[in-house]
């Protein structure tokens, strides 16, 4: 868990945003939507692992 | 100091990227904000670990029972988690879910403080 997680998520986000604009400009709205959803799922999969490790740290630290 | 610098190095780029992404994909900006909060909290809690150990020593010296201290620590942990959840929900514009998370946090904190209240009650009963 470090600074590079933020850059990873930002890179995926900007890539997805650019692809979304490109695909929707070329008239492929469905593929643009699919790209957005795929990007969201990928980032969510990364984030869930980090949230799990944060919560396990909180659990062990505060004795929950 | 190192932790603080790391936290700043996480938060500032995250804010910039989120501002850049907000127009095209607001959901991704929200995920980025949640990730920044998560990483910053992780860094901060690493620093809290030593303080918590010192608090335990202090309680030992003062003769405070470990049950009382653990109830306080549990309440702090519950407050941290419920605050994080509520703030992420509020960022997404879901204030109803945020209020529900805060209410759940309050209920859990009260439940964690129940043994302390029982001890106080029995103390008062012993005095009377």
* Cβ atoms < 10 Å from Cβ of A52: 10
Q: State pLDDT tens for residues B23-72.
A: 888 888 999 999 999 999 999 988 888 888 898 899 889 888 878 888 88
Query: What is the enclosing helix (H) or strand (E) of B5?
Result: helix B2-21
Query: Which chain B residues have a beta carbon less than 8 Å from that of A44?
Result: 31
According to the model, what pLDDT value does residue B78 have? 94
Helices then strands, each counted (H, E), chain A: 2, 0
Instruction: Give the pLDDT score at B64.
Output: 83
Give per-residue pLDDT as tens, B65-119.
878 888 888 999 999 999 999 999 999 999 999 999 999 999 999 999 898 888 8
pLDDT value, residue A39: 92
Query: Please, which residues have CB within 8 angstroms of residue A48's CB and are 6 or more apart in sequence?
Result: none
Structure tokens that stand for B117 in this block:
């209240």
pLDDT at A1 over 80: no
CB A9 within 8 A of CB A51: no
From chain B, the residues in CB contact with A58 under 8 A are: 45, 77, 80-81
Question: pLDDT tens digit string along B12-22?
Answer: 999 999 998 88
Q: Is B42 exposed, middle or buried (0-12, 13-18, 19+ CB in 10 A)?
A: buried
Look up residue A43 and give its two tokens.
């980032």
In chain A, positions 35-54, which contact chain B (CB-CB < 8 Å)? 36, 39-40, 43-44, 46-47, 50-51, 53-54
B42:A53 CB<8 A: yes
Candidates A17, A20, A63; CA nearest to B52 is A63
Q: Between A and B, how many CB-CB pairs are < 8 A? A: 109
**Where is pLDDT greater, at A64 or A28?**
A28
Helix (H, G, I), strand (E, B) or coil at B1: coil
List, for residues A16-47, the tens digit of each pLDDT value: 989 999 999 998 889 999 999 999 999 999 99
Substitution target in A42, A52, A61 with the highest count of B β-carbons within 10 Å is: A61
Q: For chain A, what is the mean pLDDT?
A: 90
Q: Is A10 on the interface with B (CB under 8 A)?
A: yes
Whole-number pLDDT of residue B39: 92
* B36: contact with A, CB 8 A cutoff: yes
C-beta neighbour count of A20 within 10 angstroms: 21
Spatial distance between the Cα atoms of B82 and B121, rounded to a whole number of angstroms: 28
From the list B28, B43, B48, the residue facing A43 with the nearest CB is B28
C-alpha torsion B99→B100→B102→B106, nearest 10: 130
């Amino acid at each position: 868990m470090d600074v590079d997680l933020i850059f990873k998520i930002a890179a995926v986000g900007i890539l997805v945003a650019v692809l979304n604009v490109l695909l929707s400009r070329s008239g492929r709205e469905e593929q643009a939507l699919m790209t957005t959803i795929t990007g969201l799922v990928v980032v969510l999969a990364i984030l869930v692992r980090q949230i799990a490790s944060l919560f396990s740290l909180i659990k062990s630290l505060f004795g929950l | 100091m190192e932790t603080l610098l790391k936290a700043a190095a996480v938060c500032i780029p995250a804010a910039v990227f989120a501002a850049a992404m907000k127009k095209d994909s607001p959901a991704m900006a929200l995920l980025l904000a949640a990730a920044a909060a998560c990483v910053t909290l992780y860094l901060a809690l690493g620093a809290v670990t030593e303080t918590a150990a010192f608090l335990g020593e202090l309680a030992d010296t003062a003769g405070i029972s470990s049950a009382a201290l653990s109830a306080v620590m549990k309440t702090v942990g519950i407050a941290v988690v419920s605050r994080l959840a509520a703030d992420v929900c509020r960022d997404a514009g879901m204030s109803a879910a945020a209020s529900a998370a805060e209410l759940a946090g309050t209920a859990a904190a009260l439940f964690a403080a129940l043994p302390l209240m029982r001890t106080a009650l029995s103390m008062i009963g012993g005095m009377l």
